[in-house]
Structure 1
Amino acid sequence: MSEQLKPLNPNYVTDFFSVNRWMLRCAGLWRPNTSNQTIQKLYTIYAITVFLFVNVWFTFTEFISLFYTYKNQYELIKNVNFFLTHFMGAVKVVFWYFYGHDLIEIMKALEDQRLQYEDYRFYQPGRISHKYKKIGIKYSLLFLLLAHATLLSSYIPPMITAIQYTWYCGSSCTENITKSLPARLPYYSWMPFSYDKGPNYLLAMSYQAGPMISYAYSIVGMDTMYMNIMNCVAGNLMIIQGAFLVLRERCLNRIGENITEHDLIILENDKVLPEMKRELMKIMRHLQVTYGACQNLENIHRYVTLCQVTATLFILCTCLFLVSSAPPLSKQFIAESVYMAAMFFQLFLYCWFGNEVTLKFEEIPRYIWESNWLATDKTFKKNMIFTMMRARRPVYFTAGKFSPLTLPTFVSIIKTSYSIFALIKNSSD
């Protein structure tokens, strides 16, 4: 078995990004892992259909609907909100077709089994990898749950009304249709047929439901994949910190030297020092791989992040306006509140996990300094000092190089959103 296929530590997770692949597969963006040609061909048809119907045609019809709602301020703002969200989803799908292979390479580099470490007492790198995988799964599924809650809060009330109307009146009933059926569909889009009767209204809702579900999986899948790559980087840094901290102890344990960590040694012996140098080179290579993954992800994703953050800034302030305009605890109020919560959470994921990576990099020098390396030779000490100096340089994920993805940035965006909301509210009054 090759070195790449044989894990050093079987306690490590074997598939860190499984939840993200599952979401992207539902969105038609990740091929199933099978050699069955029939399944592959069917999936190709499915992926092409989803791309053309959802991301091209339906997004275009949402744009066309803007011209039908520009006279009504409330409807126009709501329409622009959803169009921006879905347009960004379509942009991310196109981005995946061009740069998806680069993101996959970053994920493979972070999961390289040659950079695994054995367990030693309190240092359990396998448990760390499982912990961070659970974090990724938890936040990914929570975001997906919010996306589905947004759809349900928008669809259930008009669907119940339309079903009741169809059930009691029948499809041939023509009296008071405009009063009995909801005034509009849950989402704004140009429809190729009329929906002024109960069955037609339900058919129009079904026509919209397919793209909405597809948007949910593509948007959540792409956002949580970006989030989970940052989460995987943070997990790798946590493992690297521990690897530095117990470097000497692990080497002593590996070669079976009868020397305890409390022994007063002026200089490491000829067996310990070479092993420590080899282990140091491995940790430094791991750290370089992590730096490279961050740099590549930043270069690839920064402009998409900039577009998303800018769109979210506008969406949040207009969501505040829509929520403030709706009667408290009404169906409209609940739907707008759930949608706003999903957008808040989306921005939170970007900033929280970007902030985690920055903090983990800042802690690296402290773990290097606290490791037991003072009894080594001059070359080893120089390597440790140079590594500490390099690790002092801050590492940030940014929105187009304009602003770092950190918690202070998140707070700043929230404040700016509220300021714009107050401006819109005052001008409308």
Structure 2
Amino acid sequence: MLFKIFKNLEDPIYPLLGPNLWGLRNSGLWQPNKGFSKIIYNILHFFVAVFVLTQYIELWLIRSNLDMALRNLSYSIIITICVVKAGTFISWQKYWKEVFENVTLIEKKQQGKHDDETKKIIAKYTEYSRIVTYLYWCLVIATIFAIVLAPLVIYLSSHKLREEIRNGTAAYPDILSSWAPFDKTRGFGYWVLFGVHTFICSFGGGIVANYDTSAVVLMTFFAGQFEVLKSNCEKLFGNGQEYINYDEVIRRIRDCHEHHVQLIKYSKILNSLLSPVLFLYIISSSLMICSSAIQLTKEGTIGMQQVWIAEYLLALTFQLFLYCWHSTNVLSMSLKVDEGVYSSAWWSQDVRVRRCVVLLAGQLNRRVVFTAGPFTELSVATFITMLKGSYSYYTLLSKK
């Protein structure tokens, strides 16, 4: 049943990005040029943006309570990033569509060459993309359930809290921390806010899941295509024994050059779309991980609360690691492409062709890496540095 559902998400027009496009459309990111659905989705995005403002109002009101402030901050920042992701994707949708369209054209062109090795590489990174997408969706769904069900778990697991609620000395636990112009602690007001918080978690989770998986799948595409290009370069001159006329050799060299130019062009466009968002995310992730760690280790945090916070902390860490790991893969493969030229039978060609080979090797020696703003690259080293920074903040704040 599950495999049948996944199969229905495939799109023959976009063989690599079919499930991701389905997710983007249903989360209101990939919008039509006009129509009723576009209006509805934009209203929902605006509602989420307004809700973020209520979170910061609440943060100001509870600023003297460190525990409550840290809990508010954890959610406020991640929903802010969610709003930024949605806003930038919709505003720059023209460029996202350009990347999607041309990535698909490049892949179909490679598939059309009837090269078994190329098809094997494409099939491998397509399968990997599906695994990452579906597992990430599952992680986000689990996180949403953990956040939404947390108040119920807290209520059922604490006899003291239940007694205080009955006595009127404590309020029902809420999902998120936000301000409301009515009594949100009990009665009708509580259930209204409960519904709002549930919607925010579900809608925001959909945005995060589909934005992140689309970005990671595109990174996987570039790493895979660099591998395809390296393989094509290795086969430029066959095994060195067969005769290949000059025009055919030049055509093959030109194809490899054009392939690389396209990959560089669209990887730069993708980086320009992701870099501002990831810059904000890198900065805020340290604070989110730090505040979650403080809540997790604080005395008085009951067992089920610890499970919930740990799951949330795991999701935050995995989200950042996903970007850093795949950016490192792109960098690694981009640096290996020119090895394909030197592994070819270049020695079997005359001086004219060897000059072209040198020029091609120079062109392929390009470093491709995704960045988080103008200050740092996305890499595993950056991920480790960020974790060290989070630990430093945690050590500082936990002593207060």
TM over 0.5: yes
Q: Deviations for 1:185-232, whole angstroms, at most 9, x for unmatched residues?
A: 011112344344466544432221111111111122222222222111
Report if aligned partners of 1:230, 1:354 keep a CA contact under 8 Å in 2: yes
Report if aligned partners of 2:154, 2:304 keep a CA contact under 8 Å in 1: no
Q: Deviations for 1:284-340, whole angstroms, at most 9, x for unmatched residues?
A: 101110011122222333222211111112211222111111657712111111111
The 1-side partners of 2:244 and 2:126 are apart by: 39
> What does residue 30 of structure 1 align with?
30
Name structure 1 gaps, 5 residues minimum: 1-11, 34-39, 250-260
One of 145, 148, 156 as aligned partner of 1:152:
145
Report if aligned partners of 1:13, 1:126 keep a CA contact under 8 Å in 2: no
Cα distance, 1:14–1:378 mapped onto 2, change above 3 Å: farther
The 2-side partners of 1:143 and 1:269 are apart by: 47
Is 1:215 matched up with 2:222? no
The 1-side partners of 2:98 and 2:189 are apart by: 47
The 1-side partners of 2:288 and 2:387 are apart by: 11
> What does residue 51 of structure 1 align with?
45
One of 160, 168, 176 as aligned partner of 2:166:
176
Give 1:262 deviation, angstroms.
Answer: 6.8
> What does residue 253 of structure 2 align with?
280
Amino acid at match of 2:100: M
After the TM superposition, which of the residue ranges 136-145 and 363-372 deviates more from structure 2?
136-145
> What does residue 60 of structure 2 align with?
67
Amino acid at match of 1:214: F
Cα distance, 1:83–1:365 mapped onto 2, change above 3 Å: same
Q: Deviations for 1:364-398, whole angstroms, at most 9, x for unmatched residues?
A: 12111111232223332222212222333422211
Is 1:384 matched up with 2:357? yes
Fraction of identical pairs, as percent = 20
SS of the equivalent of 2:259 reads helix
Is 1:114 matched up with 2:109? yes
Is 1:342 matched up with 2:315? yes
Cα distance, 1:269–1:365 mapped onto 2, change above 3 Å: closer
Report if aligned partners of 1:125, 1:239 keep a CA contact under 8 Å in 2: yes
Cα distance, 1:347–1:269 mapped onto 2, change above 3 Å: closer
Q: Deviations for 1:138-192, whole angstroms, at most 9, x for unmatched residues?
A: 222322222222221222242367799xxxx9xxxx981647x864301111234
Report if aligned partners of 1:92, 1:222 keep a CA contact under 8 Å in 2: yes
**What is the CA RMSD across the aligned residues, in angstroms?**
2.8
Name structure 2 gaps, 5 residues minimum: 1-11
The 1-side partners of 2:380 and 2:396 are apart by: 25
Report if aligned partners of 1:110, 1:236 keep a CA contact under 8 Å in 2: no
One of 200, 208, 230 as aligned partner of 2:219:
230
> What does residue 336 of structure 2 align with?
363
Is 1:420 matched up with 2:390? no
The 2-side partners of 1:133 and 1:68 are apart by: 49
Is 1:373 matched up with 2:367? no
The 1-side partners of 2:104 and 2:385 are apart by: 34
The alignment of Structure 1 onto Structure 2 pairs a total of residues equal to 383
The 1-side partners of 2:31 and 2:35 are apart by: 10
Is 1:124 matched up with 2:117? yes
The 2-side partners of 1:403 and 1:82 are apart by: 25
The 2-side partners of 1:27 and 1:147 are apart by: 14
> What does residue 402 of structure 1 align with?
375
> What does residue 4 of structure 2 align with?
none
Cα distance, 1:370–1:309 mapped onto 2, change above 3 Å: same
The 1-side partners of 2:365 and 2:244 are apart by: 31
The 2-side partners of 1:237 and 1:137 are apart by: 19
Between Structure 1 and Structure 2, whose CA radius of gyration is higher?
1
The 1-side partners of 2:71 and 2:278 are apart by: 23
Amino acid at match of 1:43: S
Amino acid at match of 1:133: T
Is 1:88 matched up with 2:81? yes
The 1-side partners of 2:206 and 2:281 are apart by: 16
